[in-house]
Chains A and B, each alone.
Chain A
Amino acid sequence: MVYVISWDDFVERSVQLFRTSPQKTRYVMKYRHSDGKLVLKVTDDKECLKFKTDQAQDAKKMEKLNNIFFTLMARGPETDITEVTGKEQTEQPAKRGRGRKQ
């Protein structure tokens, strides 16, 4: 199993893997409360990326990755994610624009 050390590296490679084979790629999360461990796996059954941690800060980072994957998988692999927060920002200026017209 390929354990990735850097979080950012894991995120970038897993998104890339999903974009390459959206039909086969799956994102698995395993949490053990008794051991206090969290393991993430992204695989397309050819290549496998894993990330393991016992740190609470990584759970927060994982939430962002969850958002990315939900968006990609629900909307389609071609969706522009710009880290999902970018999407929220693009929505806000539109609302401000409506306010000015009034």
Chain B
Amino acid sequence: MVRLQLDPFLNELTSMFEHTTEKGSVWVTLKHSSDKSKVQRNKITTAGKELEYKCLVRATDGKKNISTLVGTKDHQRFQASYATILKARMTSLKKREKKDKRKAANVVDKKLSKTTKAMNVDKKQQVPVKRSSTANP
């Protein structure tokens, strides 16, 4: 298990997604952890001090293992970068089928509304002509 800093971890994660395009999976695990052994944790709690918790993020492509710790201050930035990577990489998921049906229905509705709008435009052209004739005298 390779422990990396935040940015190298994100770079490695991106390359993992690139390598598994044809074959293979990417696993990402999130866990709430203090990154200390049980003995260390007991020592700290008995001393009356508070344990500092972070978010442990692990990633693997089945062959290589990488991990990183995200602290309280970094989590917003990491979250944003992580979301960007996922959005860019998860492209093989299907688009909504129901939406396509709705789009087809909308296209039909739009065609109908266009014909009604054309009729309304003709009426509007007639109205200003009438107004100008009353304003003159």
A and B interact = yes
Residues of A within 8 A of B (CB): 18, 22-23, 25-36, 38, 53-59, 62-63, 66-67, 69-77
Pick from B91-99, B105-113, B125-133 the stretch touching chain A.
B91-99
Q: How far is the CA of A21 from the CA of B74 in the complex (A)?
A: 24
Which B residue's beta carbon lies closest to that of A76? B53
- Contact residue among A23, A32, A70 (Cβ-Cβ distance under 8 Å from B78): A70
Asked whether A34 lies within 8 Å of B22 as measured between CB atoms, the reply is yes
Residues of A within 8 A of B95 (CB): 55-56
- Contact residue among A32, A58, A73, A74 (Cβ-Cβ distance under 8 Å from B25): A32
**B104 sits at the interface (CB 8 A):** no
Which A residue's beta carbon lies closest to that of B19? A33
Asked whether A74 lies within 8 Å of B31 as measured between CB atoms, the reply is no
Q: How far is the CA of A89 from the CA of B98 in the complex (A)?
A: 32
**B124 sits at the interface (CB 8 A):** no
**Could you name 17 residue pairs across A and B whose Cβ atoms are closer than 8 Å?**
A23-B32, A26-B30, A28-B28, A28-B29, A28-B30, A31-B17, A31-B90, A34-B20, A55-B96, A56-B93, A56-B94, A56-B96, A66-B83, A69-B55, A71-B79, A73-B55, A73-B70
